[in-house]
Amino acid sequence: MSNLEAFILGLIQGLTEFLPVSSSGHLELGKYILGVEGTNNLLFTVVVHGATVLSTIFVFRKDIWELLKSLFSLKWNEKTQYISKIALSMIPIGIVGLFFKDEIESIFDGENIILLVGLMLILTAILLGFTYYAKEKDKNISFKDAFIIGIAQTIAVLPGISRSGSTIAVGLLLGNKKSEIAKFSFLMVIFPIIGANLKDLFSGDLINSGISIETLIIGFLAAFVSGLFACKLMINLVKKGKLIYFALYNV
């Protein structure tokens, strides 16, 4: 992988991690177009995913700090309930990550990966299209909603189904506040990505990746900076109810 390829793929990861267009699907398309071989690219994937997690933490640093402070207060209040809802939403993806990781990875290595990505992008478009008719009920995210949104996140491990798009769309279809669902969608993915990255780091599969430190840094910075931009943009777009445009894009 060259430095230019790392820069392009880092940009793709940063932008598509937050915009409802499927980062995994676009990364696969980007690798296919650039001719980047999938072998030995696990380390690069871990690095750029780590970059987007850091951009999420940076954007929501004040919210995260307030939630952490409330966690140690040992009081059952609105903030600790919010943390519990995030934890509940992570159960489905945690189960899949622990017990079906090899099956998921085999999908990405399949011969028909590009066809699958295309079909799943259409499915994402349909889901986003439904949000155009969703009626906001001005209600806070419930425990039931959190678990259902967590299931949507789990289904989005398939390449081409947008994680942010599916979780935000499901949250909106459940009638949750537009101002809250984007934040919840981005916060709920922090620990699953960190957990998956740590598992990969300690698995031994990253040894002899063949990618230089310079290339990894370029990919990291590209993903981090573009992730900051896309995260803030997506929050505003959800508030304004403009997801329908991404439905047209995915088609």
Tell me how many degrees the CA angle 65-13-234 measures, rounded to the nearest 5. 55
Query: pLDDT tens-digit profile of 155-170?
Result: 888 877 888 888 888 8
**What's residue 39's pLDDT?**
47
Average model confidence (pLDDT) for the chain? 81
- Per residue in 13-65, pLDDT tens? 888 888 887 777 777 777 778 777 654 566 787 888 889 889 999 999 998 88
pLDDT at 190 over 90: no
CA distance linking residue 89 with residue 84, whole number of Å: 9
Write down how long the chain is: 251
SS3 call for 176:
strand
Structural domain that includes position 39: 3-250
Give the pLDDT score at 203.
62
Chain-centroid distance, C-alpha 140: 22
* pLDDT confidence tier of residue 218, bands split at 50, 70 and 90: very high
Q: How many domains does the chain have?
A: 1
**pLDDT mean over 111-129:** 81
Contact 41, 200 (CB under 8 A): no
Distance, in Å, from the CA atom of 113 to the CA atom of 159, rounded to the nearest integer, reads 8
> SS3 of 111, please?
coil
Task: Look at the block and give the residue holding tokens 């939403």.
Answer: 89
